[in-house]
Structure 1
Amino acid sequence: MNYEVLAIDKHPERVQRWSAQLDRVVQADATEDGSLRQLGVAGFGRAVVAIGASVEASVLTVLALVELGVPQVWARATSQKHAKILSSVGAHHVIFPEAETGERVAHLIVSQLLDFVELDDDFAIAAVRVPESLAGRTLLDLRPDDRYGVRVVGLKVPGEHFRSAADDTPLPREGVLVVEGGIDQVHRFARLR
């Protein structure tokens, strides 16, 4: 995405592996605020702490970054207690990538969804195939908000790029829709034939 990236790891084999793919890869101990200061980390707008093997190293690294004044510190947590500690030492964003990916994949496995992003406890955006029974009809005719509890926000005609959905656009046979709404409503809409 054309951002400068500095990767830090204390293991030389990881530094070697990533050196060809990232701007700068440095072997250092990220728990040491002196090392981070020497590397100029305080000048970065964002930091990601993806340490999962050691809760202590993760927490100490977040603490060092916060004390250096990094404006946004994102940290990977491996448990709820780990997340609580990361937040208490100043992490701005705590994520559970394995759990979040697992939930997303579970939605895809048990449904007709092509893609799925949960934005809140009961709100999602998903990509679904145009149900055969709705092909050729317009959103104005179908009124998916009223009938199915979802809003169609985009569509993809075969051979074209995604675009915004308009009320008068016929839904393309074998096309893909981007819908938003409650999780149950999105799943029900995806099951239409």
Structure 2
Amino acid sequence: MSSSKKSIAVLGMGQFGYQLAISLTQKNFEVLALDSNPEMIDEVKELVSEAIIIDTTDEKAMRSINIDTVDIAIVAIGSNVQSSLLSTALLQRLGLVDIHVRHINSLQENILKSIGIKHIISIEKEMGIQVSNTLSTDRVGRYISISERHSLMEIQVPEGFVGKSLKDLHVRSQFRVNIVGIKTRVPNVNDNGEVTYVIEMTDVPDPNYPLTKEDLLVIAGTDDNLRKFIRLGELNV
């Protein structure tokens, strides 16, 4: 694969690997999809940069496609733990450094840690965290985990903040979070006099803008500070 784009190899075209490969392609990465199942490769080949039918545990085959030239390798193999571990070990043997591996049980996770894999993916854990964070308060909308400790979320303006400006609230110094945007409902009247609302995003918030109860704050910070921000806001700080 030769391109100025960052290249990513996704090993395993199960549901997770398939969706991941397509999503990364849409985000302008050069994606190499690998799987031993011809049907899965046939399904994804038109949606990624390149798709190859291959046994990812076969060293000779993996060398033949120059797998060591990709920037990132993601082992997305699910139920076949042995194949996942062998593929991971082979990637290490071939000199790849940035390797991300999906695990499906604690034993596999421990083995991956023992062989030095730093990026271990737990789909169930990540989804559980996202769902619980979304449901933990009815004020929270979209929630994105950025790292193990940091997140980005949308939250309805707490009652105690309505009518106050960001300058009044001293958000960064008091709560140690950053408001990176404000979403506002803006009325739009059509030719028939009907009123509809559109959401407009302000990505450089005016520090003097008085917040309304219908605004959504887009905030970033550590998970602990975000939780404190939500709790204090609900206490009408």
* TM-score normalised per structure 1: 0.84
Residue of structure 2 aligned with 1:17, choices 36, 43, 49: 43
Does the Cα contact within 8 Å between 1:153 and 1:164 map onto a contact in 2?
no
CA–CA distance in structure 1, aligned partners of residues 151 and 86 of structure 2: 35
Q: How does 1:163-174 map to 2 (within 5 A)?
A: 163-174=203-214
Report the alpha carbon displacement of residue 94 of structure 1 after superposing the two structures with TM. Answer: 0.9
Residue of structure 1 aligned with 2:68, choices 25, 42, 57: 42
Which string of whole-angstrom CA distances, capped at 9 and with x for unpartnered residues, describes residues 37-83 of structure 1?
A: 11111110110001111111111001111111112000001122211
SS of alignment partner, residue 78 of structure 1: coil
CA–CA distance in structure 1, aligned partners of residues 142 and 71 of structure 2: 31
Q: Which runs of 5+ in 1 are unaligned?
A: none
Which residue in 1 is equivalent to 2:80?
54
CA–CA distance in structure 1, aligned partners of residues 61 and 235 of structure 2: 57
Letter in 2 for 1:160: E
Q: Number of paired residues?
A: 191
Which string of whole-angstrom CA distances, capped at 9 and with x for unpartnered residues, describes residues 125-148 of structure 1?
A: 42101235533320222334677x
CA–CA distance in structure 2, aligned partners of residues 41 and 140 of structure 1: 52
- Using a 3 Å threshold, how does the CA distance of structure 1 residues 111 and 7 change in structure 2: closer, same or farther? same
Q: Which runs of 5+ in 2 are unaligned?
A: 1-26, 186-198
SS of alignment partner, residue 142 of structure 2: strand
* TM-score normalised per structure 2: 0.70
Q: How does 1:1-193 map to 2 (within 5 A)?
A: 1-112=27-138, 113-118=140-145, 119-120=147-148, 124-144=151-171, 149=175, 151-154=177-180, 155-158=182-185, 159-179=199-219, 180=221, 182=224, 183-189=226-232, 191=234
Does the Cα contact within 8 Å between 2:154 and 2:216 map onto a contact in 1?
yes
CA–CA distance in structure 1, aligned partners of residues 177 and 117 of structure 2: 35
Does the Cα contact within 8 Å between 2:159 and 2:234 map onto a contact in 1?
no
